[in-house]
Structure 1
Amino acid sequence: MEVGYWIVAALLAVFYLYAGGKKVAQSQEQLRPMMGWVDQIPMSLVRTIGLLEILGAAGLILPPLSGIAPWLAIAAAIGLVLIQVGGIAVHLSRGEARLIGLNIGLLAAAAAVAWLGTVWL
C-alpha cells in the first residue's frame, strides 16, 4: 500500500505543480489556448485555483515524507477531489462533456490517494 501511495501521489503532485504553476504564473491570454474556461472566470479565481493545486501537491508529499501531521495528505487528496468536481461542473456548464475525461481520471487518482492514505498513514 505504501508503494502504491507514493507512486500515485508523486504523479499527482507533478501534474498539479505544473498545472497550478501555469495558472499562477501565466496571463489569461497564455492560458486561453489550453484552458478556454479562463474567459468566464475572474483571473483572481484562476490564480486561487492554481495556488490550491500547488498546495495540494505539496500536501500529498511533504506531510508523509516528514512525518509531521501525515493526516494532511488525506486532506490534500480530498481537496484535489473537490477541485476536480468543480472542474467537471465548469466543463458541463459550458457544454464540454467530451472534455471531462482528464478531470475524471484526476478525481479517481486523488480519491485513490485519499483511500491509500487512510490505509497506510
Structure 2
Amino acid sequence: MNIALWICTGLLAAVALVGGITKTFVPREKLAAMPNGAWTGEATAGFVKTLGILEILAAAGLILPAVLDIAPALVPVTAACWTALMIGAIITHLRHGEHAVIVLNLIYLALAVFVLWGRTVAEPFGG
C-alpha cells in the first residue's frame, strides 16, 4: 500500500509541478490559445499566476514533508486541497464545454482522494 501511495503522490506532484510552471511562466494569452485553456482568457493574469504558484506549492506539499520528515501530516492536507482544486477545475471545464480534460481532472481527483484516504486511514506516516 505504501508503494502505491508514493506512486500516486509522485504522479500528482508531477502534474501539479508541470501545471504550476506552465501557469506561472507561460503568458496568459498563449494559455488561452491552447486546447482546453479558454478559461485562462476570462481570468486575470494575476489569478492564473497565483493558481500556478499554488500548484507548485502543492507539488512541494505532497512530497517534501514526508521525504524530509518535517510535518508529514501536511501530505494529506495537501491532498485535500488538491481535491478541492480538482472539483473547481471540473466545474470550470464543464462551464466551457471542455469535456476531454474533465476525464483527466477526475483521474487526478481520484488519485488525490486515494492519497488523502491512504495517508489518514490506511497507512499514515509515523505508524
TM over 0.5: yes
Is there any run of 5+ residues in structure 1 with no aligned partner, and where? none
TM-score by length of 2: 0.88
Counterpart for residue 64 of structure 2: 62
Tell me, in whole angstroms, the C-alpha distance in 2 between the residues paired with 1:88 and 1:73: 22
Contact 1:8 1:109 in 2 (8 A): yes
Partner of 1:111: 113
Calculate the aligned-residue CA RMSD, in Å: 1.3
Alignment of 1:1-121 (within 5 A): 1-32=1-32, 33-34=34-35, 35-118=37-120, 119-120=122-123, 121=125
Distance in 1 of aligned mates of 2:8 and 2:101:
22
Once the two structures are superposed, what CA deviation does each residue of 1:4-30 show, in whole Å capped at 9, x if it has no partner? 111111111111101110001110122
Unaligned runs of at least 5 residues, structure 2:
none
Kept after mapping to 2: 8 A contact 1:4/1:116? no
Q: Distance in 2 between matches of 1:76 and 1:3?
A: 19
- Compare 1-10 and 93-102 and name the one that shifted more: 93-102
Cα shift readout 1:28-51 (whole Å, capped 9, x = no counterpart): 122121412101111111111111
Number of aligned pairs? 121
Percentage of pairs with the same residue: 38
In structure 1, what is the Cα distance between the partners aligned to 2:112 and 2:72? 16
